[in-house]
Amino acid sequence: MFQKVMASFGQGGATVDARLLDRSVRPGGTLRGEVQLVGGQVDQEIESLGVTLLARVEQGDGEQPTLVDLPFQEVRLAGRELVRAGATITVPFEVRMSWETPVTTVFGRYLTGMAVGLQTNLNISRTVVDPQDVDAVAIEPLPAQHRLLDAMTRLGFTFRSASLVRNRLDGVDQQLPFFQEIDFAPSSSFAGVFNEVAVTFLARPGDVQVVLDVNKRVRVAKGGGLGGRGQAMLGMFSVDYAELGGTNWEQRIEGWLREVARPRGIFD
């Protein structure tokens, strides 16, 4: 009886451990793995077993937004069943990644500020605490995304950090309730004009929508003197996967940035 009581509080009860079979995955791809369910000291009835993709996103306005772990995809692996004491059960799984899944690594190196994980959830009947297990997921960019990030680097922009924003962008086809911003410090050519440039990718099966968010320095404040604030300016275009190699992306991006950098008035 004592073992049953302790198992209801999560001590000596069943445990879960997920193992990812793929070292990395791309948006639109399939993440494969397996969950190992190990029975505890007593037989227990399982209500459900599943995996959930979580993303740490910023929500709210202001200088210090709140960080929350937002579930954005779930896969149910098993329903109600009995797990015998000491038994080991291995359950394979596949998660089809959304095309808008944010990038977390480039060539295996994690992007500062990114946190996307796979949470394994085991719901046990009449248990106060249900076991959970979270594993970081390495999500590499699509070839088109990688090409544009490479173009920014070749233009002299330096990666600063990345973040996920719980919001919606106007003028684009957005499926997830958040979007990713990959922030770059300006190159020497634009350092006197821009504070930073953020790149957002919204991928689809045939193309990727690209949003460039430029924070442009305001040279003169309306109240007099030099202004320290910035003015946001957006540029949007789509990259067709089939036509990726037919465009000089360094030239195209630099041309748009130079147009943005051009003074337009006394307060610009």
What is the 3-state secondary structure of the chain?
CHHHHHHHCCCCCCEEEEEECCCCECCCCEEEEEEEEECCCCCEEEEEEEEEEEEEEEECCCCCCEEEEEEEEEEEEECCEEECCCCEEEEEEEEECCCCCCCCEECCEECCCCCEEEEEEEEECCCCCCCEEEEECCECCCHHHHHHHHHHHHCCCEEEEEEEECCCCCCCCCCCCCEEEEEEECCCCCCCCEEEEEEEEEECCCEEEEEEEEEEECCECCCCCECCCEEEEEEEEEEEHHHHHHCCHHHHHHHHHHHHHCCCCCCC
**Contact between residue 36 and residue 20 where contact means Cβ atoms under 8 Å apart:** no
Residue 76 and residue 50 in contact, taking contact as beta carbons nearer than 8 Å: yes
Distance CA 18, CA 90 (A): 9
Going from N- to C-terminal start, the domains of the chain cover: 2-136, 143-261
Burial (CB count within 10 angstroms: exposed 0-12, middle 13-18, buried 19+), residue 262 = exposed
Given this model, what pLDDT does residue 266 score?
46
**Residue range 38-66, pLDDT digits in tens:** 887 777 888 888 899 999 999 987 678 89
Q: Which regions of the chain are under pLDDT 50?
A: 1-12, 128-129, 224-226, 266-268
Whether residue 218 contacts residue 229, with contact meaning beta carbons closer than 8 Å, is answered with: yes
- Residue 126: its pLDDT value, please? 54
| 84 contacts 43 by C-beta, under 8 angstroms | yes
Residue (of 115, 201, 194, 209) closest to 158 by Cα position: 194
Q: How much is the pTM?
A: 0.85
Strand partners, 214: 197, 233
Taking alpha carbons only, the member of 24, 3, 23 closest to residue 12 is 3
| Six token digits for residue 150 | 């490479």
Class level of CATH domain 2-136: mainly beta
Q: Give the residue among 229, 227, 201 at the shortest CA–CA distance from 215.
A: 229
44/24 Cα distance (integer angstroms): 34
**What is the rounded distance in angstroms from the CA atom of residue 105 to the CA atom of residue 136?**
11
